[in-house]
Amino acid sequence: MIDYKQIIADKLSAPLDKAELSALITETADDSFGDYAFPCFKLARVMRKSPVQIAEELAAKFVTDDHIVKVQAVNGYLNFFVNRLELTWDIISDVIAARGRYGDSDMGKGKTVCIDYSSVNICKSFHIGHLSTTAIGSALYKIYSALGYNVVGINHLGDYGTQFGKMIVAFKLWGDQATAEKEGVKELQRLYVKFHQEEPNHPELTEQAREWFARIERGDPEAQQLFEFFKRVTLQEVKTIYDRLHVRFDSWNGESFFNDKMAEPLQMLRDKGLITESQGAQVVELGDYGMPPCLLVKSDGSSLYATRDIAAAIWRKQHYNFDKCLYVVAYQQNLHFKQFFKVLELAGCDWAKDLVHVAYGMVSLEDGAMSTRKGNVVLLKDVIDKAVSKANDIIADKNPDLDNRSDVAEQVGVGAVLFSALENSRIKDIVFSYDRILNFDGETAPYLQYTYARCNSILQKAPRTEGVSGDYRALDNAETLRLVKLIGSFPQAVRDAALKYEPSVISALLIDIAQAFNRFYIAHRVICDNPAHQIARLQVVDATASVLKRGLQLLGIGAPPQM
């Protein structure tokens, strides 16, 4: 890969060192300005001259060569035109040489990243509120893997808490095994809701629930068995969703797993003198850091969320020795993460700095917040089913002879759903709307997939041309340049996505690439009378297809060859 910035920096005779120079060199806002630009404004102060004058002087002194073919001073910018055919071929050949793995690197070699994502709750339905953590976490998993990191995907199950005592009471009173097996989480959910309806009028239920929860903790066989049953029913159902989304985990150690692993961390915090008594509870005071205290032990002696998260973080550090541990959890829990990260830092865990809360925005419905208890939820399964069914209808209409029709519809529908959680900055709130998620036009996964299929179609239909070499002058035009430059920025986008924990960096670039390709496609016929031109253009198509596919893979979205 030719480093034009470096070439320019080496040849520029400005009173700054090479590193500063190349840091200042940027890509131009518009191809008509050139390809790279050096803003002279910072030099103005040092050199005591106007930026316009500096640019002109630098331009006059700059000696062009085979790589940098033209220099222009415009409004205080020094604009460089590179050898565009060289740039084009440089990028295209890199992509082709990468054989489908363009953008991969070994920057993470020997490093481990833990990613805590999706983390479903037992006995609760999987609704669209869980889509963001699942899609973002899974995409980060793939992105970090592509960068050579060893990645550990963790589904930190919500499988501990007094609600399971309630579930047992409800199940014994109103439920039965056969129905639960048949109806799955829906039935568990119904029992849970019923418990809350009955509880105000039957205070003894609360007491029974507490008792059953205590029995789970003691390892009472009946309680344990029922609890495992709920867990099995929930996971069975959730796993069918994960299968459809192609989401994988390396660990399913949830809250209950850490139940017997909290004593040591607590003792450690006590030994360090961090824990104090407050209103009967044991807390770590964080007033010095502008935060309310972090509660670790309730006045009845039982543990809390933060206690388990601290134990889990320590356990993960010991077992995986991570270089980074990401928590893909909604921003509602900002304070919680800040608190327990700080507690670990105060405890002298220098690795506390490697814990990252990857926060994302809330999903709400058009008529307000979702509520499991009120039954006001949109199930993810229903959304996927609708999307797939719509994809099916469109295929029936546009491409009825397509092979593997249902498979393609599945990939398109699922892709559309996943993309909705990956297209924007994760911090943005989302108001769920069927209209939006079922729209397959414009900036959507089906658009990317369609563009990929278009590329593929050309590659397949192009007649073989033996003994002819490509004429790359066929690539000397605005549409190709724009497309190729975008493709060339893909590796950096992958790194940025990892650095910022932001898969949307990749989604946004893919949209730009697809758009640039479609404009290229309209403007320049690939399969044409001139075999030399055809060969050159086919390589652009090949590279586009390759990058679109790789990008979609990193987002966890399928790329059917035809649609």
| Window 530 to 559, contacts with RNA (CB under 7 A) | none
Q: Is 2 in the site for RNA (CB under 7 A)?
A: no
Mark residues 391-420: x for contact with RNA by CB under 7 A, - for none: x--xx--xx--------x---x--------
Site for RNA in 138-177 (CB under 7 A): 158, 160-163
# residues contacting RNA (CB under 7 A): 97
By C-alpha distance, which of 78, 84, 73 is closest to 482? 84
Q: Is 521 in the site for RNA (CB under 7 A)?
A: yes
Give the relative orientation of helices 504-523 and 478-488 as an angle to the nearest 10 degrees: 160
Q: Is 37 in the site for RNA (CB under 7 A)?
A: yes
Member of 155, 515, 539, 544 binding RNA (CB under 7 A):
515
Question: Is 170 or 458 the residue whose CB approaches RNA more closely?
Answer: 458
Site for RNA in 282-321 (CB under 7 A): 283, 290, 292-293, 295, 298-300, 302, 304-305, 308
Specify the stretch interacting with RNA by CB under 7 A; choose among 8-16, 38-46, 345-353, 547-555: 38-46
Q: Is 195 in the site for RNA (CB under 7 A)?
A: no
E strands, 454-493, are none
Member of 14, 487, 511, 547 binding RNA (CB under 7 A):
511
Strands 150-154 and 112-116: parallel
Q: How far is the CB of 544 from RNA (least distance, A)?
A: 12
Q: How far is the CB of 43 from RNA (least distance, A)?
A: 9
Member of 2, 85, 193, 281 binding RNA (CB under 7 A):
281
Question: Is 184 or 293 the residue whose CB approaches RNA more closely?
Answer: 293
Question: Is 224 or 439 the residue whose CB approaches RNA more closely?
Answer: 439
Could you tell me if 1 and 90 are in contact, meaning their C-beta atoms sit under 8 angstroms apart? yes
d(CA 6, CA 19): 9
Q: Is 217 in the site for RNA (CB under 7 A)?
A: no
Mark residues 470-499: x for contact with RNA by CB under 7 A, - for none: --------------------------x---
Question: Is 153 or 158 the residue whose CB approaches RNA more closely?
Answer: 158
By C-alpha distance, which of 479, 442, 381 is closest to 127? 381
Member of 425, 473, 476, 478 binding RNA (CB under 7 A):
425
What element of type H or E holds 58?
helix 51-61
Question: Is 142 or 454 the residue whose CB approaches RNA more closely?
Answer: 454
Q: Is 464 in the site for RNA (CB under 7 A)?
A: no
d(CA 434, CA 348): 48
Q: How far is the CB of 250 from RNA (least distance, A)?
A: 21
By C-alpha distance, which of 1, 87, 12 is closest to 482? 87
Give the relative orientation of helices 84-97 and 531-555 as an angle to the nearest 10 degrees: 60
Q: How far is the CB of 181 from RNA (least distance, A)?
A: 26
Site for RNA in 67-96 (CB under 7 A): 74-77, 79
Q: Is 63 in the site for RNA (CB under 7 A)?
A: no
Q: Which of left, alpha, beta for 511 (phi over 0: left; psi -120 to 50: alpha)? A: alpha
d(CA 162, CA 119): 18
Specify the stretch interacting with RNA by CB under 7 A; choose among 90-98, 166-174, 511-519, 550-558: 511-519
Strands 68-74 and 363-364: unpaired
By C-alpha distance, which of 232, 216, 124, 218 is closest to 177? 232
Q: How far is the CB of 131 from RNA (least distance, A)?
A: 14
Tokens of 439: 């729209």
Site for RNA in 367-396 (CB under 7 A): 369, 391, 394-395
Could you tell me if 120 and 158 are in contact, meaning their C-beta atoms sit under 8 angstroms apart? yes
d(CA 297, CA 323): 29
Q: Residue 319's CB: how many other CB atoms inside 10 A?
A: 12
Q: How far is the CB of 541 from RNA (least distance, A)?
A: 8
Q: Is 442 in the site for RNA (CB under 7 A)?
A: yes
| Overall size of the chain counted in residues | 563
* Cα dihedral: 546, 550, 556, 561 (round 10): 10
The rounded radius of gyration (Å) of the Cα atoms in the chain is 29
Helix-then-strand count for the chain, H and E? 22, 13
Member of 151, 245, 508, 554 binding RNA (CB under 7 A):
508
Mark residues 330-369: x for contact with RNA by CB under 7 A, - for none: -xxxxxx-------------------------x------x
